[in-house]
Structure 1
Amino acid sequence: MSNPSILLNIENNIATITLNRPEVFNSFNRDMALLLQKTLDDCEQDKTVRAIVLTGTGKAFCAGQDLKEVTNPEHNPGFKKILEEHYNPIITRIRNIQKPIIGAVNGVAAGAGANIALACDVVVAHEKVSFIQAFSLIGLIPDSAGTFFLPRLVGFQKASALAMLGDKVGAIQAEHMGMIYKVLPQDTFTDEVQQLAVKLAQMPTKALGLIKKSLNASLTNNLEQQLALEAKYQIEAANTADYKEGVTAFVEKRTPKFKGH
Protein backbone atom coordinates (compact mmCIF):
# COMPACT_ATOMS: atom_id res chain seq x y z
CA MET A 1 0.00 0.00 0.00
CA SER A 2 1.33 3.45 -0.94
CA ASN A 3 1.86 6.13 1.68
CA PRO A 4 -0.97 8.64 2.16
CA SER A 5 -0.49 11.91 0.30
CA ILE A 6 -1.51 13.88 3.40
CA LEU A 7 -0.20 13.14 6.88
CA LEU A 8 -1.88 14.37 10.06
CA ASN A 9 -0.40 14.44 13.54
CA ILE A 10 -2.23 15.99 16.50
CA GLU A 11 -0.29 16.64 19.67
CA ASN A 12 -0.45 19.29 22.40
CA ASN A 13 -3.44 21.01 20.73
CA ILE A 14 -1.44 21.38 17.49
CA ALA A 15 -2.44 19.67 14.24
CA THR A 16 0.47 19.24 11.84
CA ILE A 17 -0.67 18.60 8.27
CA THR A 18 2.12 17.42 5.98
CA LEU A 19 1.92 17.30 2.19
CA ASN A 20 3.45 13.92 1.42
CA ARG A 21 4.24 13.27 -2.23
CA PRO A 22 7.98 14.05 -2.05
CA GLU A 23 8.75 12.08 -5.21
CA VAL A 24 6.88 14.81 -7.18
CA PHE A 25 7.78 17.70 -4.85
CA ASN A 26 4.40 17.41 -3.11
CA SER A 27 2.50 18.48 -6.22
CA PHE A 28 -1.25 17.97 -6.11
CA ASN A 29 -3.35 15.39 -7.86
CA ARG A 30 -7.09 15.03 -7.29
CA ASP A 31 -6.81 12.49 -4.47
CA MET A 32 -4.34 14.66 -2.57
CA ALA A 33 -6.44 17.81 -2.98
CA LEU A 34 -9.59 16.13 -1.74
CA LEU A 35 -7.74 14.52 1.17
CA LEU A 36 -6.31 17.89 2.23
CA GLN A 37 -9.82 19.34 2.26
CA LYS A 38 -11.05 16.51 4.46
CA THR A 39 -8.06 16.87 6.79
CA LEU A 40 -8.68 20.60 7.17
CA ASP A 41 -12.34 19.86 7.93
CA ASP A 42 -11.30 17.33 10.58
CA CYS A 43 -8.98 19.88 12.20
CA GLU A 44 -11.71 22.50 12.19
CA GLN A 45 -14.16 20.16 13.91
CA ASP A 46 -11.69 18.76 16.44
CA LYS A 47 -12.11 20.91 19.55
CA THR A 48 -8.74 19.82 20.91
CA VAL A 49 -6.98 21.48 17.94
CA ARG A 50 -6.10 25.13 18.64
CA ALA A 51 -3.42 25.70 16.00
CA ILE A 52 -2.60 24.13 12.64
CA VAL A 53 0.75 23.77 10.88
CA LEU A 54 0.80 23.13 7.13
CA THR A 55 4.14 21.90 5.78
CA GLY A 56 5.69 19.47 3.32
CA THR A 57 7.84 16.34 3.23
CA GLY A 58 11.27 16.36 1.63
CA LYS A 59 12.88 19.14 -0.38
CA ALA A 60 9.70 20.99 -1.36
CA PHE A 61 6.73 22.56 0.32
CA CYS A 62 4.61 22.15 -2.79
CA ALA A 63 5.28 22.46 -6.52
CA GLY A 64 1.62 23.15 -7.32
CA GLN A 65 -0.36 21.02 -9.73
CA ASP A 66 0.94 17.64 -10.83
CA LEU A 67 1.24 18.29 -14.57
CA LYS A 68 1.16 14.57 -15.32
CA GLU A 69 -2.47 14.60 -14.22
CA VAL A 70 -3.49 17.47 -16.50
CA THR A 71 -1.65 15.99 -19.48
CA ASN A 72 -3.09 12.51 -19.05
CA PRO A 73 -5.71 12.11 -21.82
CA GLU A 74 -7.57 9.40 -19.91
CA HIS A 75 -7.67 10.84 -16.39
CA ASN A 76 -7.37 14.61 -16.89
CA PRO A 77 -10.02 16.24 -14.67
CA GLY A 78 -9.77 19.53 -16.60
CA PHE A 79 -9.02 22.98 -15.20
CA LYS A 80 -12.64 23.78 -14.37
CA LYS A 81 -12.87 20.81 -12.02
CA ILE A 82 -9.34 21.31 -10.69
CA LEU A 83 -10.07 24.91 -9.68
CA GLU A 84 -13.66 24.54 -8.52
CA GLU A 85 -13.21 21.22 -6.71
CA HIS A 86 -9.52 21.19 -5.71
CA TYR A 87 -7.81 24.55 -5.11
CA ASN A 88 -10.65 26.99 -4.51
CA PRO A 89 -12.12 24.85 -1.69
CA ILE A 90 -8.65 24.50 -0.13
CA ILE A 91 -8.12 28.27 -0.07
CA THR A 92 -11.63 28.85 1.26
CA ARG A 93 -11.05 26.38 4.09
CA ILE A 94 -7.70 27.90 5.03
CA ARG A 95 -9.25 31.36 5.31
CA ASN A 96 -12.51 30.29 7.00
CA ILE A 97 -11.19 27.93 9.69
CA GLN A 98 -11.39 29.89 12.95
CA LYS A 99 -8.01 28.67 14.15
CA PRO A 100 -4.54 30.04 13.31
CA ILE A 101 -2.79 28.26 10.45
CA ILE A 102 0.98 28.43 10.09
CA GLY A 103 2.35 27.96 6.59
CA ALA A 104 5.69 26.32 7.44
CA VAL A 105 7.40 26.49 4.06
CA ASN A 106 10.18 23.91 4.24
CA GLY A 107 11.22 24.04 0.58
CA VAL A 108 10.32 25.48 -2.80
CA ALA A 109 6.74 26.75 -3.08
CA ALA A 110 5.69 27.11 -6.70
CA GLY A 111 2.45 27.85 -8.50
CA ALA A 112 -0.58 26.84 -6.50
CA GLY A 113 1.80 25.65 -3.79
CA ALA A 114 3.08 29.20 -3.29
CA ASN A 115 -0.42 30.63 -3.14
CA ILE A 116 -1.68 28.01 -0.69
CA ALA A 117 1.22 29.01 1.57
CA LEU A 118 0.44 32.72 1.22
CA ALA A 119 -3.19 32.12 2.19
CA CYS A 120 -2.11 30.92 5.65
CA ASP A 121 -2.29 33.24 8.66
CA VAL A 122 1.39 33.18 9.58
CA VAL A 123 3.92 32.19 6.90
CA VAL A 124 7.48 31.27 7.80
CA ALA A 125 10.27 29.78 5.69
CA HIS A 126 13.93 28.96 6.09
CA GLU A 127 16.62 30.86 4.21
CA LYS A 128 17.01 28.28 1.43
CA VAL A 129 13.35 28.43 0.40
CA SER A 130 12.12 30.12 -2.76
CA PHE A 131 8.67 31.17 -3.96
CA ILE A 132 7.70 31.35 -7.62
CA GLN A 133 4.54 32.28 -9.49
CA ALA A 134 5.37 29.75 -12.17
CA PHE A 135 2.08 29.97 -14.09
CA SER A 136 3.10 32.36 -16.87
CA LEU A 137 6.10 30.16 -17.67
CA ILE A 138 3.71 27.54 -19.06
CA GLY A 139 1.08 29.92 -20.43
CA LEU A 140 -1.29 30.09 -17.44
CA ILE A 141 -2.38 32.72 -14.93
CA PRO A 142 -1.97 32.60 -11.13
CA ASP A 143 -4.81 30.79 -9.41
CA SER A 144 -5.47 29.63 -5.84
CA ALA A 145 -6.11 33.29 -4.93
CA GLY A 146 -2.69 34.38 -6.14
CA THR A 147 -4.12 37.42 -7.90
CA PHE A 148 -6.06 38.26 -4.71
CA PHE A 149 -3.49 37.91 -1.94
CA LEU A 150 -0.21 38.71 -3.70
CA PRO A 151 -0.99 42.35 -4.59
CA ARG A 152 -2.31 42.90 -1.07
CA LEU A 153 0.90 41.50 0.40
CA VAL A 154 3.54 43.09 -1.81
CA GLY A 155 1.74 45.86 -3.72
CA PHE A 156 0.19 45.99 -7.17
CA GLN A 157 3.32 46.72 -9.21
CA LYS A 158 5.49 44.07 -7.56
CA ALA A 159 2.70 41.48 -7.80
CA SER A 160 2.17 42.27 -11.47
CA ALA A 161 5.85 41.77 -12.23
CA LEU A 162 6.13 38.56 -10.21
CA ALA A 163 3.03 37.11 -11.86
CA MET A 164 4.07 38.03 -15.40
CA LEU A 165 7.80 37.34 -15.21
CA GLY A 166 7.67 34.27 -12.98
CA ASP A 167 10.69 35.45 -11.01
CA LYS A 168 12.03 33.23 -8.25
CA VAL A 169 11.85 35.03 -4.90
CA GLY A 170 14.14 33.89 -2.09
CA ALA A 171 12.83 33.69 1.44
CA ILE A 172 14.85 36.66 2.72
CA GLN A 173 13.61 38.80 -0.17
CA ALA A 174 10.06 37.54 0.45
CA GLU A 175 10.27 38.67 4.07
CA HIS A 176 11.63 42.08 3.11
CA MET A 177 8.81 42.71 0.63
CA GLY A 178 6.15 41.62 3.12
CA MET A 179 5.20 38.41 1.34
CA ILE A 180 5.88 36.28 4.43
CA TYR A 181 6.11 36.88 8.17
CA LYS A 182 9.61 35.65 8.97
CA VAL A 183 12.67 33.70 7.79
CA LEU A 184 13.90 31.07 10.24
CA PRO A 185 17.31 29.32 10.29
CA GLN A 186 17.27 26.11 8.29
CA ASP A 187 18.95 24.03 10.98
CA THR A 188 16.39 25.01 13.66
CA PHE A 189 13.41 25.44 11.36
CA THR A 190 11.30 22.53 12.65
CA ASP A 191 11.92 23.43 16.29
CA GLU A 192 11.12 27.11 15.80
CA VAL A 193 7.94 26.30 13.88
CA GLN A 194 6.91 24.08 16.78
CA GLN A 195 7.60 26.87 19.26
CA LEU A 196 5.48 29.25 17.21
CA ALA A 197 2.66 26.71 17.00
CA VAL A 198 2.79 26.11 20.76
CA LYS A 199 2.55 29.85 21.37
CA LEU A 200 -0.50 30.18 19.12
CA ALA A 201 -2.13 27.06 20.59
CA GLN A 202 -1.84 28.57 24.07
CA MET A 203 -3.40 31.90 23.07
CA PRO A 204 -7.13 32.81 23.22
CA THR A 205 -8.33 30.76 20.24
CA LYS A 206 -11.72 32.46 20.01
CA ALA A 207 -10.10 35.89 19.79
CA LEU A 208 -7.65 34.66 17.14
CA GLY A 209 -10.58 33.37 15.11
CA LEU A 210 -12.31 36.74 15.35
CA ILE A 211 -9.09 38.49 14.29
CA LYS A 212 -9.01 36.21 11.25
CA LYS A 213 -12.64 36.96 10.39
CA SER A 214 -11.98 40.69 10.79
CA LEU A 215 -8.95 40.61 8.51
CA ASN A 216 -10.87 38.60 5.90
CA ALA A 217 -13.65 41.18 5.92
CA SER A 218 -11.18 44.07 5.68
CA LEU A 219 -10.23 42.92 2.19
CA THR A 220 -13.60 44.13 0.86
CA ASN A 221 -15.14 46.36 3.57
CA ASN A 222 -15.06 50.15 3.60
CA LEU A 223 -14.01 51.99 6.77
CA GLU A 224 -17.51 52.31 8.20
CA GLN A 225 -18.29 48.64 7.62
CA GLN A 226 -15.02 47.60 9.22
CA LEU A 227 -15.55 49.78 12.29
CA ALA A 228 -19.01 48.28 12.78
CA LEU A 229 -17.61 44.77 12.40
CA GLU A 230 -14.83 45.46 14.90
CA ALA A 231 -17.42 46.63 17.42
CA LYS A 232 -19.47 43.49 16.89
CA TYR A 233 -16.53 41.12 17.25
CA GLN A 234 -15.02 43.02 20.17
CA ILE A 235 -18.25 42.58 22.12
CA GLU A 236 -18.19 38.89 21.22
CA ALA A 237 -14.56 38.58 22.35
CA ALA A 238 -15.31 40.40 25.61
CA ASN A 239 -17.89 37.76 26.47
CA THR A 240 -15.40 34.87 26.32
CA ALA A 241 -13.89 33.09 29.28
CA ASP A 242 -10.43 33.79 27.86
CA TYR A 243 -11.02 37.55 28.02
CA LYS A 244 -11.98 37.27 31.67
CA GLU A 245 -8.88 35.16 32.32
CA GLY A 246 -6.67 37.61 30.43
CA VAL A 247 -7.88 40.61 32.41
CA THR A 248 -7.67 38.75 35.72
CA ALA A 249 -4.13 37.59 34.97
CA PHE A 250 -3.13 41.14 34.02
CA VAL A 251 -4.47 42.54 37.30
CA GLU A 252 -2.85 39.73 39.27
CA LYS A 253 0.42 40.18 37.36
CA ARG A 254 0.64 36.54 36.26
CA THR A 255 0.74 34.65 32.97
CA PRO A 256 -2.79 33.94 31.71
CA LYS A 257 -3.92 30.34 31.16
CA PHE A 258 -6.22 30.50 28.17
CA LYS A 259 -8.57 27.59 27.42
CA GLY A 260 -9.57 28.56 23.89
CA HIS A 261 -13.16 29.58 24.65
Structure 2
Amino acid sequence: MSNSALQVEIADRVARVTINRPNALNSVNAELHTALSRVFVDLGERRDIGVIVLTGAGKAFCAGGDIEWMKEAVREPEGFEIVTWEAKRIVYSMLDCEIPIIGRINGDAVGLGATLALLCDITVMADHARIGDPHVRVGLNAADGGGFLWPQMIGFGKARELLLTGDLLSAAEAKQLGAIGNVSTADELDAKVEALVSKLKNGATKAIRWTKAGYTIPLRQLAHGHMDAGTAYECLTNLTQDHHEAVEAFASKRKPVFSGR
Protein backbone atom coordinates (compact mmCIF):
# COMPACT_ATOMS: atom_id res chain seq x y z
CA MET A 1 0.00 0.00 0.00
CA SER A 2 2.88 2.39 0.65
CA ASN A 3 4.70 4.40 -1.97
CA SER A 4 6.81 7.55 -1.90
CA ALA A 5 3.77 9.83 -1.76
CA LEU A 6 1.62 7.89 0.71
CA GLN A 7 3.13 6.00 3.62
CA VAL A 8 1.22 3.27 5.50
CA GLU A 9 2.40 1.81 8.77
CA ILE A 10 0.45 -0.88 10.63
CA ALA A 11 1.16 -1.87 14.21
CA ASP A 12 -0.83 -2.74 17.31
CA ARG A 13 -4.17 -2.73 15.44
CA VAL A 14 -3.61 0.81 14.14
CA ALA A 15 -2.99 1.80 10.51
CA ARG A 16 -1.25 5.16 10.16
CA VAL A 17 -1.61 6.69 6.70
CA THR A 18 0.65 9.68 6.03
CA ILE A 19 0.42 11.93 2.99
CA ASN A 20 4.11 12.26 2.27
CA ARG A 21 4.91 15.20 -0.02
CA PRO A 22 5.99 17.69 2.66
CA ASN A 23 8.09 19.85 0.33
CA ALA A 24 4.95 20.45 -1.76
CA LEU A 25 2.70 20.95 1.29
CA ASN A 26 1.31 17.48 0.55
CA SER A 27 -0.39 18.73 -2.60
CA VAL A 28 -1.86 15.93 -4.67
CA ASN A 29 -0.14 14.72 -7.82
CA ALA A 30 -1.01 11.74 -10.01
CA GLU A 31 0.90 9.21 -7.89
CA LEU A 32 -0.71 10.36 -4.65
CA HIS A 33 -4.19 10.56 -6.16
CA THR A 34 -3.98 6.98 -7.39
CA ALA A 35 -2.68 5.79 -4.02
CA LEU A 36 -5.51 7.55 -2.16
CA SER A 37 -8.06 5.88 -4.45
CA ARG A 38 -6.82 2.44 -3.38
CA VAL A 39 -5.51 2.61 0.17
CA PHE A 40 -8.85 2.60 2.01
CA VAL A 41 -10.09 -0.31 -0.10
CA ASP A 42 -7.02 -2.32 0.89
CA LEU A 43 -7.22 -1.34 4.55
CA GLY A 44 -10.96 -1.89 4.72
CA GLU A 45 -10.55 -5.56 3.84
CA ARG A 46 -8.40 -6.25 6.90
CA ARG A 47 -9.69 -7.61 10.18
CA ASP A 48 -6.55 -6.95 12.24
CA ILE A 49 -7.05 -3.16 12.31
CA GLY A 50 -9.23 -1.30 14.77
CA VAL A 51 -8.60 2.28 13.68
CA ILE A 52 -6.97 4.28 10.88
CA VAL A 53 -5.16 7.60 11.41
CA LEU A 54 -4.83 9.88 8.38
CA THR A 55 -2.37 12.78 8.53
CA GLY A 56 0.17 14.78 6.56
CA ALA A 57 3.95 14.93 6.79
CA GLY A 58 5.53 18.28 7.60
CA LYS A 59 3.59 21.52 7.99
CA ALA A 60 0.44 20.80 5.99
CA PHE A 61 -2.28 18.17 6.03
CA CYS A 62 -2.97 18.48 2.29
CA ALA A 63 -2.87 21.64 0.17
CA GLY A 64 -5.09 20.35 -2.65
CA GLY A 65 -4.07 19.76 -6.25
CA ASP A 66 -0.47 20.11 -7.36
CA ILE A 67 -0.09 22.90 -9.93
CA GLU A 68 2.13 20.85 -12.26
CA TRP A 69 -0.48 18.10 -12.23
CA MET A 70 -3.13 20.67 -13.14
CA LYS A 71 -0.97 21.86 -16.04
CA GLU A 72 -0.74 18.29 -17.30
CA ALA A 73 -4.54 17.94 -17.16
CA VAL A 74 -4.88 21.13 -19.21
CA ARG A 75 -2.43 19.83 -21.82
CA GLU A 76 -3.95 16.35 -21.97
CA PRO A 77 -7.62 16.62 -20.92
CA GLU A 78 -8.40 13.00 -21.81
CA GLY A 79 -6.20 11.95 -18.91
CA PHE A 80 -8.52 13.88 -16.61
CA GLU A 81 -11.10 11.13 -17.10
CA ILE A 82 -8.88 8.84 -15.00
CA VAL A 83 -8.59 11.53 -12.34
CA THR A 84 -12.35 11.85 -12.03
CA TRP A 85 -12.75 8.06 -11.82
CA GLU A 86 -10.18 7.99 -9.01
CA ALA A 87 -11.89 10.92 -7.26
CA LYS A 88 -15.05 8.85 -6.96
CA ARG A 89 -13.07 5.91 -5.62
CA ILE A 90 -11.50 8.08 -2.90
CA VAL A 91 -14.87 9.30 -1.64
CA TYR A 92 -16.64 5.95 -1.94
CA SER A 93 -13.82 3.97 -0.33
CA MET A 94 -13.52 6.25 2.71
CA LEU A 95 -17.27 6.04 3.30
CA ASP A 96 -17.40 2.28 2.60
CA CYS A 97 -14.45 1.51 4.88
CA GLU A 98 -16.05 0.27 8.11
CA ILE A 99 -12.88 0.94 10.11
CA PRO A 100 -13.16 4.35 11.80
CA ILE A 101 -10.78 6.96 10.40
CA ILE A 102 -9.29 9.65 12.63
CA GLY A 103 -8.08 12.75 10.83
CA ARG A 104 -4.95 14.22 12.45
CA ILE A 105 -5.23 17.60 10.75
CA ASN A 106 -1.75 18.91 11.48
CA GLY A 107 -1.92 21.85 9.05
CA ASP A 108 -3.93 23.41 6.24
CA ALA A 109 -6.53 21.15 4.61
CA VAL A 110 -7.46 22.70 1.27
CA GLY A 111 -9.50 21.47 -1.70
CA LEU A 112 -9.19 17.70 -1.82
CA GLY A 113 -7.39 18.00 1.51
CA ALA A 114 -10.56 19.46 3.02
CA THR A 115 -12.62 16.66 1.50
CA LEU A 116 -10.30 14.07 3.04
CA ALA A 117 -10.68 15.77 6.41
CA LEU A 118 -14.48 15.89 6.17
CA LEU A 119 -14.60 12.21 5.23
CA CYS A 120 -12.80 11.23 8.43
CA ASP A 121 -15.05 9.97 11.22
CA ILE A 122 -13.27 11.92 13.96
CA THR A 123 -11.08 14.96 13.40
CA VAL A 124 -8.50 16.70 15.56
CA MET A 125 -7.26 19.91 13.97
CA ALA A 126 -4.26 22.01 14.97
CA ASP A 127 -5.38 25.46 16.06
CA HIS A 128 -3.15 27.23 13.51
CA ALA A 129 -4.55 25.27 10.54
CA ARG A 130 -7.15 26.34 7.99
CA ILE A 131 -9.69 24.35 6.02
CA GLY A 132 -11.76 25.08 2.93
CA ASP A 133 -12.56 24.30 -0.68
CA PRO A 134 -11.20 26.95 -3.09
CA HIS A 135 -11.86 25.04 -6.31
CA VAL A 136 -13.60 28.08 -7.81
CA ARG A 137 -10.44 30.14 -7.31
CA VAL A 138 -8.68 27.94 -9.84
CA GLY A 139 -11.64 27.85 -12.20
CA LEU A 140 -12.89 24.39 -11.26
CA ASN A 141 -16.14 23.29 -9.66
CA ALA A 142 -16.02 21.57 -6.27
CA ALA A 143 -16.41 18.03 -7.57
CA ASP A 144 -14.20 15.83 -5.40
CA GLY A 145 -16.81 15.52 -2.68
CA GLY A 146 -16.92 19.01 -1.22
CA GLY A 147 -20.07 19.87 -3.11
CA PHE A 148 -22.17 17.47 -1.03
CA LEU A 149 -20.05 17.17 2.12
CA TRP A 150 -19.91 20.83 3.17
CA PRO A 151 -23.70 21.33 3.16
CA GLN A 152 -24.15 18.12 5.15
CA MET A 153 -21.53 19.07 7.72
CA ILE A 154 -22.32 22.73 8.35
CA GLY A 155 -25.66 23.39 6.66
CA PHE A 156 -26.49 24.93 3.32
CA GLY A 157 -26.45 28.56 4.45
CA LYS A 158 -22.73 28.91 5.14
CA ALA A 159 -21.67 26.03 2.90
CA ARG A 160 -22.99 27.75 -0.21
CA GLU A 161 -21.03 30.89 0.63
CA LEU A 162 -17.81 28.97 1.21
CA LEU A 163 -18.12 26.88 -1.94
CA LEU A 164 -18.89 29.90 -4.12
CA THR A 165 -16.14 32.14 -2.69
CA GLY A 166 -13.48 29.55 -1.92
CA ASP A 167 -12.84 31.20 1.45
CA LEU A 168 -10.99 29.22 4.12
CA LEU A 169 -12.03 28.73 7.74
CA SER A 170 -9.80 28.85 10.78
CA ALA A 171 -9.76 25.76 12.98
CA ALA A 172 -11.90 27.55 15.56
CA GLU A 173 -14.45 28.60 12.93
CA ALA A 174 -14.55 25.08 11.47
CA LYS A 175 -15.23 23.58 14.90
CA GLN A 176 -17.91 26.14 15.69
CA LEU A 177 -19.70 25.34 12.43
CA GLY A 178 -19.36 21.58 12.95
CA ALA A 179 -16.98 20.82 10.08
CA ILE A 180 -14.41 19.29 12.43
CA GLY A 181 -14.77 17.82 15.89
CA ASN A 182 -11.77 18.90 17.94
CA VAL A 183 -9.18 21.70 17.98
CA SER A 184 -5.85 21.32 19.70
CA THR A 185 -2.60 23.20 20.06
CA ALA A 186 0.22 21.75 17.98
CA ASP A 187 1.95 20.54 21.14
CA GLU A 188 -1.12 18.64 22.32
CA LEU A 189 -2.25 17.32 18.93
CA ASP A 190 -0.65 13.89 19.22
CA ALA A 191 -1.83 13.32 22.77
CA LYS A 192 -5.42 14.10 21.78
CA VAL A 193 -5.23 11.84 18.73
CA GLU A 194 -3.67 8.97 20.67
CA ALA A 195 -6.35 9.15 23.37
CA LEU A 196 -8.97 8.66 20.65
CA VAL A 197 -6.92 5.90 19.02
CA SER A 198 -6.78 4.04 22.34
CA LYS A 199 -10.56 4.22 22.80
CA LEU A 200 -11.26 2.84 19.33
CA LYS A 201 -8.61 0.14 19.04
CA ASN A 202 -9.54 -1.23 22.46
CA GLY A 203 -13.30 -0.95 21.93
CA ALA A 204 -15.87 -3.45 20.71
CA THR A 205 -14.57 -3.71 17.16
CA LYS A 206 -17.62 -5.12 15.43
CA ALA A 207 -20.01 -2.75 17.18
CA ILE A 208 -17.81 0.20 16.18
CA ARG A 209 -17.45 -0.96 12.58
CA TRP A 210 -21.15 -1.56 12.11
CA THR A 211 -22.08 1.69 13.81
CA LYS A 212 -20.04 3.44 11.13
CA ALA A 213 -21.66 1.29 8.46
CA GLY A 214 -25.02 2.54 9.67
CA TYR A 215 -24.41 6.26 10.03
CA THR A 216 -22.65 6.52 6.68
CA ILE A 217 -25.68 5.23 4.75
CA PRO A 218 -27.10 8.73 4.05
CA LEU A 219 -23.68 10.06 3.04
CA ARG A 220 -23.06 7.08 0.76
CA GLN A 221 -26.41 7.67 -0.89
CA LEU A 222 -25.58 11.34 -1.38
CA ALA A 223 -22.13 10.51 -2.71
CA HIS A 224 -23.51 8.19 -5.38
CA GLY A 225 -26.10 10.78 -6.32
CA HIS A 226 -23.58 13.60 -6.56
CA MET A 227 -20.20 12.37 -7.73
CA ASP A 228 -21.00 11.40 -11.33
CA ALA A 229 -22.50 14.79 -12.15
CA GLY A 230 -19.88 16.66 -10.13
CA THR A 231 -16.94 14.99 -11.83
CA ALA A 232 -18.54 15.48 -15.25
CA TYR A 233 -18.79 19.20 -14.55
CA GLU A 234 -15.18 19.18 -13.39
CA CYS A 235 -14.12 17.71 -16.72
CA LEU A 236 -15.94 20.59 -18.40
CA THR A 237 -14.40 23.27 -16.20
CA ASN A 238 -10.96 21.75 -16.84
CA LEU A 239 -11.45 22.86 -20.48
CA THR A 240 -12.43 26.45 -19.73
CA GLN A 241 -10.28 29.52 -20.35
CA ASP A 242 -10.78 30.62 -16.76
CA HIS A 243 -9.19 27.43 -15.43
CA HIS A 244 -6.30 27.72 -17.86
CA GLU A 245 -5.80 31.34 -16.78
CA ALA A 246 -5.86 30.36 -13.11
CA VAL A 247 -3.24 27.65 -13.62
CA GLU A 248 -0.95 30.03 -15.50
CA ALA A 249 -1.48 32.77 -12.94
CA PHE A 250 -0.70 30.44 -10.05
CA ALA A 251 2.49 29.29 -11.75
CA SER A 252 3.48 32.91 -12.39
CA LYS A 253 2.56 33.95 -8.84
CA ARG A 254 0.07 36.54 -9.96
CA LYS A 255 -3.65 37.08 -9.48
CA PRO A 256 -5.80 35.45 -12.22
CA VAL A 257 -7.96 37.62 -14.44
CA PHE A 258 -11.14 35.71 -15.17
CA SER A 259 -13.20 36.31 -18.31
CA GLY A 260 -16.14 34.00 -17.57
CA ARG A 261 -15.20 31.69 -20.43
Provide the TM-score with structure 2 as the length reference: 0.78
CA contact (8 A) 1:105 1:125 kept: yes
CA separation of 1:53/1:77 partners in 2, compared to 1, >3 Å: closer, same or farther? farther
Say if 2:114 is the partner of 1:84. no
**Offset of 1:57 from its aligned partner?**
0.4
1:163 equivalent in alignment to 2:169: no
Three-state SS of the structure 2 residue aligned to 1:71 is helix
Conserved 8 A contact 2:14-2:52: yes
Output the CA distance in 2 between the equivalents of 1:77 and 1:16: 34
Q: Distance in 2 between matches of 1:218 and 1:40?
A: 19
Displacement of 1:41 after TM fit?
A: 2.8
The match for 1:59 is 59
The structural deviation recorded for 1:189 is: 0.7
Q: Secondary structure at the match of 2:61?
A: strand
| Alignment partner, residue 121 of structure 1 | 121
Shift of residue 114, structure 1, vs aligned partner: 0.5
Tell me the residue number matched to 2:176: 176
Give me the whole-angstrom Cα distance separating, in 2, the residues matched to 1:92 and 1:193: 24
| Structure 1 portions without partners, runs of 5+ | 222-261
CA–CA separation in structure 1 for the residues paired with 2:208 and 2:172: 27
Asked whether the equivalents of residues 13 and 50 of structure 2 are also in contact (C-alpha less than 8 Å), the reply is yes
- For residues 188 and 8 of structure 1, the distance between their equivalents in structure 2, rounded to whole angstroms, comes to 23
Q: Which runs of structure 2 are paired with 1:34-53 in the superposition (5 Å)?
A: 34-53=34-53
1:215 corresponds to which residue?
215
Higher helix share: 2
Equivalent pair of 1:14/1:53 in contact (CA under 8 Å): yes
- Is the contact between residue 14 and residue 198 of structure 1 (CA under 8 Å) also seen in structure 2? no
Shift of 1:145: 1.2
What is the distance in 1 between the residues matched to 2:42 and 2:138? 35
Secondary structure of the 1:208 match is: helix
Structure 1 partner of 2:13: 13
Report the counterpart of residue 201 of structure 2 in structure 1. Answer: 201
Which sections of structure 2, spanning at least 5 residues, go unmatched?
222-261
Whole-Å separation in 1 of the counterparts to 2:78 and 2:152: 31
Deviations for 1:210-241, whole angstroms, at most 9, x for unmatched residues?
A: 222221223488xxxxxxxxxxxxxxxxxxxx
Q: In the aligned structure 2, how far is the partner of 1:199 from the partner of 1:94?
A: 20
Deviates more, 1:39-48 or 1:108-117: 39-48
CA contact (8 A) 1:112 1:143 kept: no
- The CA deviation at 1:43 is 1.8
**TM alignment of 1:238-249, pairs within 5 A:** none
Q: In the TM superposition, what is the alpha-carbon distance from 1:202 to its structure 2 partner? A: 1.1
Q: How far apart, in 1, do the equivalents of 2:100 and 2:195 lie?
A: 14
Shift in Å, 1:17: 0.1
TM norm structure 1: 0.78
The aligned runs of 1:133-152 (5 Å cut-off) are 133-152=133-152
Q: Which has the larger radius of gyration?
A: 1
Does the C-alpha gap of structure 1 residues 53 and 69 become closer, same or farther in structure 2, counting only changes over 3 Å? same
Alpha-carbon distance, 1:67 to partner: 2.0
Q: Is the 8 A contact 1:7 1:20 kept in 2?
A: yes
What residue in structure 2 maps to residue 231 of structure 1? none
Give the direction of change, closer, same or farther, for the CA distance of 1:68–1:124 in structure 2 (3 Å limit): same
- Kindly indicate whether structure 1 or structure 2 has the higher relative contact order, using CA contacts under 8 Å at least 6 residues apart: 2
- Partner of 2:179: helix, strand, or coil? coil
Corresponding pairs, count: 218
CA distance in 2: counterparts of 1:46 and 1:214, whole angstroms: 19
- Quote the Cα distance in structure 1 between the aligned partners of 2:101 and 2:217: 17
Report the equivalent of 2:130: 130
* Structure 1 CA distance for aligned equivalents of residues 155 and 109 of structure 2: 20
* Shift of residue 75, structure 1, vs aligned partner: 6.4
